[in-house]
A and B are shown apart, each in its own frame.
Chain A
């Protein structure tokens, strides 16, 4: 039976420790800075580069979303990933896991609570970020929606869920918070380097970042995005099942 008490603790912990504040402020900051930098980038460049003549087309809501996707799939995602990697390994190292698992909580229940808390956290900060970006884009450019916006947002959202599962998986299998964080970053880097190979982007969860930018440029990548989303869901599910299976048999 699923134990909601532990999920409640996970959520409270995010609020009472700096976790939520750090992740939340990074996401909110970049959600605000995205539309702003899109709007004023040309003027900023012109201000510093006075000796050369630059003529860029006037920015639109497309540039605003471009900034949003670039930021949320890079710095914001890295911060989220690194912050999430401690979730199980820290409890093991601190010893609190012994106090919890000798109560009426199954290992599956404990891990599902951790996953659910991670997903809830990402979902809420993602929605808030989208809303902020939406609002500023509207205010600054007077237009927000473009062809394929919702699908693009969903694929980036699934990328976040995928990285939550990566964090949980590493947190289960590794013995130190530092190792988990370093390896998580390495995986992030490798997957992003692989996006150079555009042919495999539809199978690479991190390929979503490139695909949504193509969509913005007017290339219809709907088909590829759908395949990418399905692959991301599939890989995330495999990671989730593997984490539970390993954790259930783990020597603590």
Chain B
């Protein structure tokens, strides 16, 4: 398998504090890769090393199979980068800025004009093409940030918490743009908004205190969970009856009651389902809903970050 990004025992030491501690990344080409971890876990430091802004203390980085050496500009051809709060020149228009970015890559003039137009369309800024960036909202700046990261048709783009500072509307717009890149470019993005990750990522890595705690596909990670939740909704008398019948069942780890709703945490999902159907059938209980709740990434995230897995 070809990896767009590969790191080997990557370490960043800030005066004895290991912000990144022997990190081994393998980001498959073409994936949308979520880079998760709490604040201060080393995400931004890792991204700065991957984009050549900071020199690793030890370890190595490969971008598109080529070693990345700090101070050499070679890898920049392959990458695009959007920092958490992108800084623009307020006196420029988005067209000016994207043109500057293209010129920095020596893109021929005619090709650049077309490319800038395309990108402004992709990120929905075609109508604001001549406005000053200084007048832009955060959401607009973030969208322009994605456009500038794509100017050189990179193989991989690094996005550092691209939606953290945005309102729900802005967040949705930016996530839709990122989702639209699926299959066209490898996207490596750090975030702590887990619902976004669940929606668009193929794979995730979770780091905590600079160390990898989990790396896999979303499906596999969810399958890792050892417990499931079964939710039954019926009228209150029926729920009371169900509760009384399963109270002593050792296979049921936890019971949560909320008026007409009962939530069971179980290890053996099939057993629990059979048991509930049996009770319903035997006692002629009519239910409104039975739902098997899959573990969310949030459940798993909380567990691994708190070292409970």
Contacts and interface: CB of A to CB of B under 8 A. Distances in A.
| Chain A interface size range | 20 to 34
B213 to A, nearest CB: 26
Interface of B: 48, 51-55, 71, 73, 76-77, 79-81, 83, 85-89, 91, 100-101, 103-106, 145, 148-149, 151-152
20 contacts: A5-B103, A8-B103, A13-B89, A13-B91, A17-B91, A91-B87, A98-B51, A98-B53, A98-B83, A99-B83, A99-B86, A102-B53, A102-B79, A103-B151, A103-B152, A104-B152, A105-B73, A105-B104, A107-B71, A251-B48
Contacts of A94: 87
A9 B86 CA distance: 18
Contact of A99 (B48, B79, B81, B91): B81
A249 interface: yes
Contacts of B81: 98-99, 102
B87 A252 contact: no
B73 A104 contact: yes
B89 A104 contact: no
A104 B106 contact: yes
Given A100-B104, A104-B77, 4 more contacts: A104-B152, A107-B71, A249-B55, A251-B53
B68 to A, nearest CB: 12
A242 interface: no
Interface of A: 3, 5-6, 8-9, 13, 16-17, 91, 94-107, 248-249, 251-252
Contacts of A5: 100, 103-104
A13 B81 CA distance: 23
B14 to A, nearest CB: 9
A251 B55 CA distance: 7
A95 B106 contact: no
Contacts of A100: 104
A102 B76 contact: yes
B76 A104 contact: yes
Given A104-B73, A249-B71, A98 B101 contact: no
Nearest to A1: B106
A102 B106 contact: no
Contacts of A107: 71
Nearest to A252: B53
Nearest 3 pairs between A and B by C-beta? A95-B87, A5-B103, A94-B87
Contacts of B89: 9, 13, 96
A197 B116 CA distance: 59
B91 A103 contact: no
A91 B77 CA distance: 22
A170 B83 CA distance: 25
A102 B52 contact: yes
Nearest to B151: A103
Contacts of B105: 103-104
Contacts of A6: 100, 104
A29 to B, nearest CB: 25
Nearest to B132: A16
A98 B87 contact: yes
Given A95-B83, A96-B88, A103-B152, A248 B76 contact: no
